[in-house]
Amino acid sequence: MRLKGKVAIVTGSARGLGKAMALKMAAEGAKVVVCDLNYEGCVAVKEEIEQNGGKALAVRCDVTSREEVAALVAQTMDNFSQIDILVNNAGITRDAQIIKMTDQQWDEVINTNLKSMFICIQEVIKVMIPRNYGRIVNITSIAALEGNFGQTNYAAAKAGIIGLTKTLSKELGRKGITVNAVAPGFMDTEMTKTIPAHIQEQLLARIPLRRAGQPEEAAEAVVFLASDAASYITGQTLSVNGGLYV
C-alpha cells in the first residue's frame, strides 16, 4: 500500500472528487481526516472507510476560517499524532458573466477556493516542518489553464492555485515538503451533472478520449503525488482531462 502509515487531511471530501480521494487514500493505507462543511457527509465517508477496514476521522470545518482550520489540525494531532499529507480540495462555484458578477460572488469563490489553501497550508506546515516531511496536493482545474465562460472568479482562483503551488514548492522544498497540483478536466461528478445536456455533449466532443473522467481517476493522480513514488516531483501541475486541454 502506497500510503501505509501516513495521515492525510482531505478538505471538501464529503462528496465528489474529494470523497473519491479520501476513499482511495484510505484504501492505500492512510489514516484519513474527512473534512467538509457537510458534517453528515463526512460521517458517511468515514463510516465507508471504516467498513472497508480503514481508519478515519470526520471533522466539520469551514476552511475559510483560520480558527476552525487550527482546530482541525489540533484534532488531527490529538487523534493521529502526525500529519503527512494535505489535499486542498474544497471549492465552490458562483457563476456569472463579468458584467453581472457581484462582489459577493467574487469574494466567496476567491476565499473558498484560494484563500482557504493559504490558511490550510500555513496551519499544517507548523506540524510538517519539524518532521522535515510533507506532501501537499492542491486541486486546481482546467479552467485555470484555458479559462471558462461565466467563471471569471473560479478561473482566477484556480489559476492562483497554480502560482501558489509553484512558489511554495520553492519555499518549502528545503523543509522536505513537496507541493504539487492536480488539474481535473470534465469529470463525472454531482456538480457536472447539473450542466445542461447539450453543453455536456459539446464538451465531450472536444475530449479526445470521448468521455468524462471518473473521480477515481483524479484520485489516482492525487495518491501518486502524495506517495513516496513522487518524492522528486514538486511545483508541478498534473492535468487529468482526457486530452481536453494539452
Annotation says 154 is catalytic = yes
Here the cell at position 193 is: 451533472
Query: Cα(first)–Cα(last) distance of the chain, in Å?
Result: 31
CA-CA-CA-CA torsion sign (213, 193, 137, 179): positive
Per the CB < 8 A criterion, the answer to whether 222 and 131 are in contact is: no
Q: What is the CA radius of gyration of the chain?
A: 17
- Active-site entry in 133, 154, 232, 245: 154
Here the cell at position 46 is: 468515514
Contacts of 122 (CB under 8 A, 6+ apart): none
Beta bridge partners of 85: 8, 135
What does residue 57 show for φ and ψ, rounded to 5 degrees? -135, 130
The residues carrying an active-site annotation are 154
